[in-house]
């Protein structure tokens, strides 16, 4: 059902649907198994990112500028997955495929906002490694906690303003035909393709958004690692060079996990005809798997995090043993009093 909402600007009447119908996984056979898989991915994502945030919060040795960035990445992974996966499961598993127009725009905003923050945080962590290796003596002066918090604050402000405009441009479109979205969420491109008036501005904004989300951060990350490689070549001792490389491995793995699937999907969509169902599954995996893998990579591949986990485990073991001794002494005293 389509309702008419009139805006008097420029003597134009914008036609907006009361609801959109999300059609993404509708024709995929045995799709329920995929929803179960997404549920497992979401549980692991929540547990993993909550765990890494708790470790950073509790372990004092991780109270550094770098781990403020890691904490922020885990938070964005958690929020991004929470904005997407539960709604996808609710939409298709419980057949709630109709979504109100305003709810669709809000859905779109939060998915893109947190995905953009994930990308920008990877860029910030690349900057951290660049300063640590290229300017080691100035590192603690340049990369400070206040500086990191300021960068994160600017990222949030920029992302919220940009994607408010990004999503707000949908209101300049008229939808006088179909309201069926061939996607698994309220994606920007499937929405503007349904427009029956001039959508050139939204197409341009989509390209700018794609550049900000993927290409600009990735180019800057490549540039930072090019500078890091040049700095590593100047290190005389092989052991020192290897130690410096090890500090970058976890971040490089996060970059590969996040950007390679996105780039592969974009290149494949331009060069080869994609089956719509395959494209939808690939895109959904691209958005849901990296947030699940990030805390696992940082836990297993970062020596500081592993050391902090071991220290916290030992501390808890000592505290448990101490508490059990105190209980035993109390029980003995209690028994003695009863005998008297």
Tens of pLDDT, residue by residue over 235-257, are 767 777 888 888 888 899 999 99
Tens of pLDDT, residue by residue over 253-278, are 999 999 998 888 878 777 777 677 77
Let me know if residue 177 belongs to a domain: no
Please tell me the predicted confidence (pLDDT) of residue 4.
39
Please tell me the predicted confidence (pLDDT) of residue 330.
67
pLDDT-based confidence at residue 323 (cuts at 50, 70, 90):
low
Q: Which domain holds residue 117?
A: 25-165+198-317
* Residue 326 pLDDT > 90: no
Mean pLDDT of 43-63: 93
Euclidean distance between CA atoms 55 and 49, whole angstroms: 10
* Residue 317 pLDDT > 50: yes
Please tell me the predicted confidence (pLDDT) of residue 1.
37
CATH number of the structural domain spanning residue 37: 1.20.1070.10
Q: What is residue 181's three-state secondary structure?
A: strand
Strands (E), 129-192: 180-181
Please tell me the predicted confidence (pLDDT) of residue 10.
42
Let me know if residue 331 belongs to a domain: no
Let me know if residue 180 belongs to a domain: no
Please tell me the predicted confidence (pLDDT) of residue 84.
94
Euclidean distance between CA atoms 242 and 16, whole angstroms: 58
Please tell me the predicted confidence (pLDDT) of residue 336.
55
* Residue 120 pLDDT > 80: yes
**Axis crossing angle, helix 31-58 with helix 276-301, rounded to the nearest 10:** 30
Let me know if residue 20 belongs to a domain: no
CA 104 and chain centroid, separation: 20
DSSP state letter for 30: T
DSSP state letter for 182: -
Per-residue tokens: 112: 């893109």
- The two most distant CA atoms of the chain are separated, in Å, by 97
Q: What is residue 259's three-state secondary structure?
A: helix
Tens of pLDDT, residue by residue over 155-214, are 999 999 999 999 999 988 888 888 899 888 999 988 988 888 888 888 888 888 887 778
Strands 98-100 and 180-181: unpaired
Tens of pLDDT, residue by residue over 11-52, are 456 788 899 999 887 777 778 888 899 999 999 999 999 999
Please tell me the predicted confidence (pLDDT) of residue 277.
75
Count of the separate structural domains present in the chain: 1
Please tell me the predicted confidence (pLDDT) of residue 335.
57
Contact 187, 84 (CB under 8 A): no
Helix segments in the chain, DSSP class H: 31-58, 65-93, 101-134, 139-142, 145-168, 188-192, 200-210, 216-233, 238-271, 276-301, 303-339
- Calculate the average pLDDT of the chain: 85
**DSSP-assigned states of every residue in 184-212:** SS--HHHHHTT-SS--HHHHHHHHHHHII
pLDDT-based confidence at residue 139 (cuts at 50, 70, 90):
very high
Closest CA to 35 of 96, 116, 119, 76: 96
Please tell me the predicted confidence (pLDDT) of residue 236.
63
Give the residue with greater pLDDT, 308 vs 153.
153
**Under 8 Å CB-to-CB from 49, ≥6 apart: which residues?**
74, 75, 77, 78, 291, 294, 295
Please tell me the predicted confidence (pLDDT) of residue 212.
76
Q: Which strands form 180-181's sheet, in the order they lie side by side?
A: 98-100, 19-22, 180-181
Let me know if residue 63 belongs to a domain: yes
Please tell me the predicted confidence (pLDDT) of residue 122.
95
Mean pLDDT of 93-108: 91
């Amino acid at each position: 059902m389509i309702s008419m909402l009139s805006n008097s600007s420029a003597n134009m009447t914008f036609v907006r649907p009361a609801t959109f119908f999300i059609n993404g996984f509708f024709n995929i056979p045995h799709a329920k198994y995929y929803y179960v898989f997404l549920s497992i991915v979401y549980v692991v994502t929540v547990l993993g990112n909550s765990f890494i945030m708790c470790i950073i919060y509790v372990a004092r040795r991780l109270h550094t500028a770098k781990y403020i960035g890691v904490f922020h990445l885990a938070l964005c992974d958690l929020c991004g997955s929470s904005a997407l996966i539960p709604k996808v499961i609710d939409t298709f598993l419980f057949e709630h495929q109709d979504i109100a127009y305003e709810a669709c725009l809000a859905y779109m905003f939060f998915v893109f906002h947190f995905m953009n923050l994930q990308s920008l945080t990877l860029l910030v962590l690349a900057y951290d490694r660049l300063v640590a290796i290229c300017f080691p003596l100035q590192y603690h002066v340049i990369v400070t906690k206040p500086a990191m918090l300021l960068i994160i604050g600017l990222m949030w402000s920029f992302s919220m303003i940009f994607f408010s405009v990004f999503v707000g441009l949908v209101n300049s479109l008229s939808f006088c035909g179909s309201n069926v979205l061939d996607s698994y969420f309220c994606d920007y491109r499937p929405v503007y393709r349904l427009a029956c008036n001039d959508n050139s501005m939204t197409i341009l904004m989509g390209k700018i958004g794609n550049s900000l989300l993927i290409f600009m951060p990735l180019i800057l990350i490549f540039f930072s690692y090019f500078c890091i490689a040049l700095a590593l070549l100047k290190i005389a001792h092989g052991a020192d060079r290897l130690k410096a490389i090890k500090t970058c491995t976890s971040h490089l793995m996060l970059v590969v996990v996040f950007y390679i699937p996105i780039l592969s999907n974009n290149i494949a969509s331009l060069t080869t005809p994609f089956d719509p169902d395959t494209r939808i599954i690939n895109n959904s995996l691209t958005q849901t798997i990296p947030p699940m893998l990030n805390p696992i990579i940082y836990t297993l591949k970062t020596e500081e995090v592993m050391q902090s986990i071991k220290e916290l485990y030992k501390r808890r073991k000592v505290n448990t043993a101490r508490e059990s001794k105190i209980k035993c002494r109390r029980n003995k005293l209690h028994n003695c009093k009863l005998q008297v």
